[in-house]
Amino acid sequence: MTDEPPLRRRPAEELQGNAPQHPPSAQPQPAGEGVDPTDGGPVPLIAPRDGTPDPVAAPAELAEVVARFAAGTGPVALDAERASGYRYSQRAYLVQLRRAGAGTALIDPLPLPDLSALDAAIGEAEWVLHAASQDLPCLAEVGLRPRRLFDTELAARLAGFERVGLAALTEQLLGYTLEKHHSAADWSSRPLPESWLTYAALDVELLTDLRDALDAELTRQGKSAWAAEEFAALVRTGARPPRVRAEPWRRTSGIHRVRGARAQARVRSMWYARDQIAARRDAAPGRVLPDSAIIAAAELDPRDEKTLLTLPGFGGRSVRRLARTWLAALDDARQLPDDALPVTPAVEGPPPPHRWAERDPVAAGRLARCREVVIRIAGEHNLPPENLITPDSVRRLAWTPPEELTEDTVAETLRGFNAREWQIALLTPDLTPALTPE
């Protein structure tokens, strides 16, 4: 439990209109000092209880924060703001923390890229994040790695909430509404407006209160051990950067319209030309050249600047200035010998499920039965099926089951897919017979 007195919140009975389909019975009780909600519904939370702090941007200021948070007690609420959609990198441009006895701190990691001293000060505490997998990689880049954590989004999924966004959960469980209109802002810009800083501070204002409410609900449902396994897995793997795809250009939006290997080579050539520019500028690739422009050029294959600039997506001034770059990329693709053109990549793992009936009707039957098991058990335990087991794990198990079908061999196969022990215990008794030929 947090050591910080919570804000005064709305009573549980006043929140029932916003409850999930399977409403949790454990609601936080009003306590402490702070905002006194009226009878008109959830209360907008517009300012942190201690005011909006200035961003910490100097070593001396950081040292004071480190000392303050080392002296604090209980869990540490953390969040990070990136500039997705604006920047090439996924680095953190603001780090927010709150802890009982320490208050709230906003840290600017641009002048302070090494927060390892802060990590040492709070490393043994439980860290509370919302959607931790999104923030752990960028926090690791600045030296912040949790030893223990509580993910409020994941906890809400395990508890059966249908709406698991931070604002939705804060409203349902605590009776406060959070504004989220700065979530897609360009956090790399400086100076950060006061309204943005307030928004950032409010993102950690109620995280520990929310953690306590969700922890109580998980305990009531008998799912605390499940959550502990999930959180431990996040600690082990959450800070890893995303896996680099072998051919990332194939994810260009609209590529399904591009026919033929030569046209696909044009997509590939332009994609890598754009990527180099985006990385050099630290700009989101779509701001250098939209995917739609790459597809249009790949389909038409313009050979001169006049024709290129008539295509959709090539009208902007910065795009026009790079016209020679785009034409050179198209020419590179044009000059490729046939044996250097893209080929359909080998599929890793099972084929798409819609092809199973044709490729292997027996496997298709196994998949259907396994899916029925997963959906049924997920419903019995008020879980999203994808949180009970990943769809990819079900497909792989059904496509290539163990040669000897026993609960032990099925369990070992699921462990190979990184399934948790609680998932294995729930699923193997029913998945094993589902894999047996009818």
Q: Do 329 and 387 fall within a single domain?
A: no
Looking at the 3D structure of the chain, how many domains does it have? 3
Burial class of residue 311, CB neighbours in 10 A (0-12, 13-18, 19+): middle
Q: Do 57 and 145 fall within a single domain?
A: yes
Of 178, 201, 236, which one is at a domain's C-terminal end?
236
Q: Is 181 left (phi over 0), alpha (psi -120 to 50) or beta?
A: alpha
pLDDT by residue (tens digit) across 136-159? 999 999 999 999 999 999 999 999
Domain annotation covers residue 69: yes
- For residue 302, count other CB atoms closer than 10 A to its CB: 19
Q: Which residue has the tokens 């019995």?
A: 380
| 3-class secondary-structure state, position 43 | strand
- C-alpha 211 chain-centroid distance: 18
Q: Do 294 and 404 fall within a single domain?
A: no
CB 159 within 8 A of CB 218: yes
How confident is the model at residue 22, as a pLDDT? 35
Domain annotation covers residue 148: yes
CB 424 within 8 A of CB 390: no
How confident is the model at residue 25, as a pLDDT? 34
CB 48 within 8 A of CB 104: yes
Domain annotation covers residue 18: no
Pairing of strands 94-100, 103-107: antiparallel
* Regions in the chain scoring below 50 on pLDDT: 8-38
Q: Do 68 and 178 fall within a single domain?
A: yes
Q: Do 304 and 384 fall within a single domain?
A: no
Domain annotation covers residue 149: yes
Span between the terminal Cα atoms of the chain, in Å:
51
CB 308 within 8 A of CB 323: yes
Instruction: List the structure tokens of 89.
Output: 């990198």
Instruction: List the structure tokens of 93.
Output: 């441009």
Domain annotation covers residue 167: yes
pTM of this structure: 0.88
Domain annotation covers residue 122: yes
Q: Do 230 and 262 fall within a single domain?
A: no
Q: Do 110 and 203 fall within a single domain?
A: yes
Domain annotation covers residue 1: no
CB 155 within 8 A of CB 102: no
Q: Do 109 and 144 fall within a single domain?
A: yes
Q: Do 157 and 228 fall within a single domain?
A: yes
Beta-bridged to residue 126, according to DSSP, are: 148
Count how many Cα atoms sit within 13 Å of the Cα of residue 400 in the half-sphere of its side chain.
11
How confident is the model at residue 15, as a pLDDT? 40
* Cβ contacts of 404 within 8 Å, gap of 6 or more: none
302 lies in which domain range?
255-340
Of 307, 340, 373, which one is at a domain's C-terminal end?
340
Among the listed residues 294, 298, 344, 340, the one whose alpha carbon sits nearest the alpha carbon of residue 319: 294
Dist. CA 30–CA 100, nearest whole Å: 18
How confident is the model at residue 322, as a pLDDT? 96
Among the listed residues 413, 378, 380, the one whose alpha carbon sits nearest the alpha carbon of residue 399: 413
Dist. CA 311–CA 262, nearest whole Å: 19
Domain annotation covers residue 283: yes
Dist. CA 113–CA 343, nearest whole Å: 42
Phi, psi of 90 (to 5 degrees): -110, 30
Helices 421-434 and 361-380: crossing angle, nearest 10°? 130
pLDDT by residue (tens digit) across 334-356? 999 999 999 988 777 898 898 99
Q: Do 263 and 314 fall within a single domain?
A: yes
Of 340, 365, 389, which one is at a domain's C-terminal end?
340
Q: Do 333 and 357 fall within a single domain?
A: no
CB 338 within 8 A of CB 310: no
Which CATH number goes with the domain that contains 404? 1.10.150.80
Which CATH number goes with the domain that contains 58? 3.30.420.10
Q: Do 161 and 212 fall within a single domain?
A: yes
